[in-house]
Chains A and B, each alone.
Chain A
């Protein structure tokens, strides 16, 4: 009768694999194998994974088995041997998730079977001599530095976007009254002060600090980095209110003091700030404060009735993505059109297009082609069954990517 397997991940050592292959399996266990197993280094493994096809693979397995006759081994091979001992589970390459999951379950049963008699005789010394512990060096690659400078993309779905930035109804572009509600002036917000300070830093080509009664913000033109000691909620709050108002609220300012002051930073101070956890990339910071400030409006310097075009894709893996950002980027990069037309073409709320547009505009990624350029209006529908099949396949891939 099989023993009840453990519910915690099976601890597996890998043998005869380089660090890259080991990392592949680390990800395979974490993803497709649903965390049912984990690659371990110095901790005592419950089982060992051996690739029989590597040079010396057979010899490694033989040596391992002679030292640990009862330890479960998952043996990988394109052509697995026809037979194996009772403690060896064969998995044919390419290892499918299902086959590996079955092997993990079987291994856990074997581990449980070995554990039971041992726990029944608790005073019994370990069956394995101390020197028989695995004589392998598992080299692990450090996980990517998750410091704020390399922060991954943050995806705002429609609900989160609404709770962060509020809801704005679509407007009729032909109605001047409605159109007037669409604009905001970045210079009245923190966004404008940050942009001005960045320009000063670039002109001076020196680390520079923007001092405001709210917070200090430091700029590093060489590294294209910004230091600001504020969390997401604080940033959201300060971006949402005209800067003069929030400064007055916070420090009771009566207008005698300037809202901000730009100074050069000493080399020592710059060095210390560059090692801080509050460092973010320039691009992701400018993008974010534009998104938070605009709330789905557009800068007053822009004519939304003229076609616009995205000059380059922003660095989508390191910025906060408003809803439908990828589609908006692809469409506006493909051909010029007004933001209203883009929203219509994609069948989405105008606010999402305006939010994307404002953030991209803050990074200098938007151009307005000369007057007379005709905006693209025709929707690209699949012209034939083969094209339709392709579109259907692409949709399935997208669903698959977004589900996982």
Chain B
């Protein structure tokens, strides 16, 4: 089995990591949510305190493991462990946050080594609620950090949206990939 068998989902609290994994996973995701007790509770009642986990079954019995990091910074000691063997990083941003670009810089900074070794795609959620900042502004921010990444508007509940995001990740890694096995 390939040693590269994980896709990592990260992003701030409420960006849709758990939902995105659920929309791709072949099994009901394992969640480790708990009642929010800190500032997180202002955004939602419960939050992921360890990680989310889902599986995509591939032909031939191989599996792709989908991991979602907890949104809270105090669990970031787990992130290095998670990324080992990862194919790439899916960063989900919540466009209704007070300062999404601060989030963007934080997560790119925390995963920079992993991103440089693999690749990054960014999905911006909640754009139906807030069109600002627009995607162009995200591109400018990411380019200022020395990266060129696909950035799409995403509804984490939409399997199609999340699928396109993952396809962009794979094609960014190898544009000449074909679908045929």
Binding site for B on A (CB under 8 A): 18, 20-21, 23-25, 27-28, 31-32, 93-97, 100, 143-145, 149-150, 152-153, 223-224, 312-313, 315-318, 326-327, 329-331, 333-334, 345-347, 379-380, 389-402, 404
Contacts and interface: CB of A to CB of B under 8 A. Distances in A.
B22 A330 contact: no
Given A21-B31, A95-B28, A393 B22 contact: no
A398 B152 CA distance: 18
A394 B31 contact: no
A96 B55 CA distance: 9
Contact of A25 (B28, B60, B161): B28
Contacts of A21: 31, 33
A224 B134 contact: yes
A397 B56 CA distance: 8
Given A23-B157, A95-B27, A97-B26, A317 B152 contact: yes
Given A153-B164, A317-B158, A326-B167, 6 more contacts: A18-B46, A24-B18, A144-B158, A150-B153, A326-B171, A334-B175
B23 A395 contact: no
Nearest to B56: A400
Contacts of B134: 224
Interface residues of B, number: 65
B50 interface: no
B5 to A, nearest CB: 7
B84 interface: no
B59 interface: yes
25 contacts: A21-B31, A24-B22, A27-B19, A27-B159, A28-B22, A31-B159, A94-B55, A96-B26, A153-B164, A313-B152, A315-B151, A316-B152, A316-B168, A317-B154, A326-B171, A345-B176, A380-B175, A390-B4, A391-B174, A391-B177, A395-B179, A396-B58, A396-B60, A397-B64, A399-B179
Interface in B126-155: 127-128, 131, 134-135, 139, 148-155
A395 B177 contact: yes
Nearest to B5: A393
Contacts of A152: 155, 158, 160-161
A393 B62 contact: yes
B175 A327 contact: yes
A381 B171 CA distance: 14
In order of increasing CB-CB distance, the 9 nearest A-B pairs are A330-B175, A330-B171, A331-B175, A95-B28, A313-B150, A24-B22, A317-B152, A396-B58, A94-B30
B162 to A, nearest CB: 9
Interface of B: 2, 4-5, 18-19, 22-23, 25-31, 33, 44-46, 53, 55-60, 62, 64, 87, 127-128, 131, 134-135, 139, 148-155, 157-161, 163-168, 170-181
Given A24-B29, A94-B30, A397 B174 contact: no
Contacts of A390: 2, 4
Contacts of B172: 330, 333-334
A100 B27 CA distance: 9
A224 B4 CA distance: 40
A317 B165 contact: yes
Given A24-B31, A31-B23, A330-B168, A316 B44 contact: no
